[in-house]
Amino acid sequence: MHFEEILMEKEPVIRVIGVGGAGGTAINNMKKMGIGEMTTIAVDTDKEALDDIRCDFKILMKKHGSDKELKTGRKVVMESEGMIKNSLGKADIVFVVAGMGGQTGAISPLISRIPREIGALIVAIVTMPFSFEGEICLERAKNGLSELKGTSGCIFPIFNDRLCKFYNPDDALTEIFEKNNEFMCRIVRSISGLLHENGLISIDFADVKSIIKKSGFSKFGTGMGRGVDKARNAAMEAINCPMFENFSLKEAGIVLVNIMTGKDSDIAEVAEAMQVIYENAGGDQDISYAHVFDKNMEDEIRVNLFLAGFHEF
Ligand SMILES: Nc1nc2c(ncn2[C@@H]2O[C@H](COP(=O)(O)OP(=O)(O)OP(=O)(O)O)[C@@H](O)[C@H]2O)c(=O)[nH]1
Ligand SMILES: [Mg+2]
């Protein structure tokens, strides 16, 4: 193994590209939540929206038309390719975050080709529109999602309608968006934690990379426990996460568990959370797991579950 490779395994370079309004808002949220040290890049066709984003690079693209083949979209992405490449540096993993129903969000598959060409692994986290946003918007999002399959190792589609069922009907739309944004940020936080932070049990970059590479359409669930029975409660909450809807742990071909605690936690808590996962998994799956310390946590445990290898969505 070369020296350079050893270094890369220790500290993979992570970038986040937020595309369009929803992508930019997600970046702002990540900064608020404290996702750790990583370079953030906002790409949009809307200058005013870009002005409001707190990030390391802002790339303003020309507005494009909305033809189905994304002809004009392709042209504007090509024009900005140099700038996007420069912002990426030697990225190993790039999160591409967008709302697929938006005209700008819909060209995120074209944008994701750029980091892919420099050899980075792409994790796409994209929201799918509410039904009330209409057929055209939904069509655009579906097309974008299938395009993403060609460029991304791992895709987390966040179906706004599904998450909505678990909120109160009188919640403001902005509140729902905020919760969805938090959910998207948790995915980034969890994967970056696995790569950058250590805990009682670690997983190395090569393993995370090989899981991401073969994941395809994936699901994420998260649970939090505090005080008595926290490990069991957090694991159960993650298993029953609304995003899994009709799918169970038993059906997932790939399971990755990331347990986060403060430094006050011990191995028994991690073991208990894992025991709950094993009991619910059924036995056939290859379950990878890791533990990460989070300095902001005390008497708390968070269980993050990545499920992949499903045949349908
Ligand atoms: N989770 C989440 N989704 C959002 C948010 N804002 C918009 N969306 C969703 O994302 C989709 C795209 O909206 P925008 O991101 O505003 O659109 P855009 O990508 O900037 O594209 P244009 O403005 O049409 O060029 C919408 O269909 C919404 O469903 C947000 O703050 N959070
Ligand atoms: Mg916009």
State the Cα–Cα distance between residues 57 and 118, nearest whole angstrom. 18
* Cβ 196 vs Cβ 37: under 8 Å: yes
Give the position, in ligand 1's atom list, of the atom nearest the Cα of 105.
19
* Cβ 106 vs Cβ 61: under 8 Å: no
* pTM of the model as a whole: 0.93
* DSSP characters over 216-268: EEEEEEEEEEESTTHHHHHHHHHHT-GGGTT--GGG-SEEEEEEEE-TT--HH
Atom 13, ligand 1: residue with shortest CA distance: 102
Give the position, in ligand 1's atom list, of the atom nearest the Cα of 24.
15
Give the position, in ligand 1's atom list, of the atom nearest the Cα of 141.
27
Q: What is the pLDDT at residue 313?
A: 62
Mean pLDDT, rounded, of the chain: 89
State the Cα–Cα distance between residues 121 and 115, nearest whole angstrom. 8
Rg over alpha carbons for the chain, rounded to the nearest Å, is 19
Give the position, in ligand 1's atom list, of the atom nearest the Cα of 158.
1
Q: What is the pLDDT at residue 251?
A: 84
> Region 131-148: what's the mean pLDDT?
93
Confidence of residue 10 (pLDDT cuts 50, 70, 90): low
- Output the CA 83–ligand 2 centroid distance in Å: 20
Q: What is the pLDDT at residue 200?
A: 85
- Output the CA 190–ligand 2 centroid distance in Å: 27
Q: Identify the CA nearest to 102 among candidates 143, 72, 69.
A: 143
End-to-end Cα separation, the chain, in angstroms: 39
> Region 295-303: what's the mean pLDDT?
93
Residues near 141 by beta carbon (within 8 Å), at least 6 away in sequence: 100, 101, 105, 106, 126, 128, 129
Answer whether residue 291 shows pLDDT above 80.
yes
Ligand minimally distant from the alpha carbon of residue 131:
1
Confidence of residue 23 (pLDDT cuts 50, 70, 90): very high
Confidence of residue 225 (pLDDT cuts 50, 70, 90): very high
Residues near 261 by beta carbon (within 8 Å), at least 6 away in sequence: 199, 269, 270, 291, 293, 294, 297, 300, 301, 302
Which of 6-10, 26-30, 195-199, 221-225 shows the lowest per-residue confidence on average (mean pLDDT)? 6-10
Q: Which residues are close to ligand 2, an ion, with C-beta < 5 A?
A: 20-21, 46
Q: Which of 48-52, 176-180, 295-299 has the highest mean pLDDT?
A: 48-52
State the Cα–Cα distance between residues 292 and 191, nearest whole angstrom. 10
| Pocket (CB within 6 angstroms of ligand 1) | 20-22, 25, 45-46, 99, 101-105, 127, 129-130, 133, 137, 160, 177, 180-181
Answer whether residue 290 shows pLDDT above 50.
yes
Confidence of residue 7 (pLDDT cuts 50, 70, 90): very low
Confidence of residue 311 (pLDDT cuts 50, 70, 90): low
89-116 pLDDT, tens digit per residue, is: 999 999 999 999 999 999 999 999 999 9
Burial class from Cβ neighbours inside 10 Å (0-12, 13-18, 19+) for residue 170 reads: exposed
Handedness of CA 31, 254, 131, 128 (dihedral sign): positive
Burial class from Cβ neighbours inside 10 Å (0-12, 13-18, 19+) for residue 301 reads: buried
Which domains does the chain possess? 3-193 (3.40.50.1440), 218-308 (3.30.1330.20)
Q: Best mutation site among 46, 53, 59, 177 for ligand 1, i.e. most ligand atoms within 8 A of its Cβ?
A: 177
- Output the CA 49–ligand 2 centroid distance in Å: 7
Atom 10, ligand 1: residue with shortest CA distance: 99
* Cβ 79 vs Cβ 107: under 8 Å: no
- Output the CA 85–ligand 2 centroid distance in Å: 22
State the Cα–Cα distance between residues 209 and 212, nearest whole angstrom. 5
Which of 115-119, 167-171, 172-176, 281-285 shows the lowest per-residue confidence on average (mean pLDDT)? 167-171
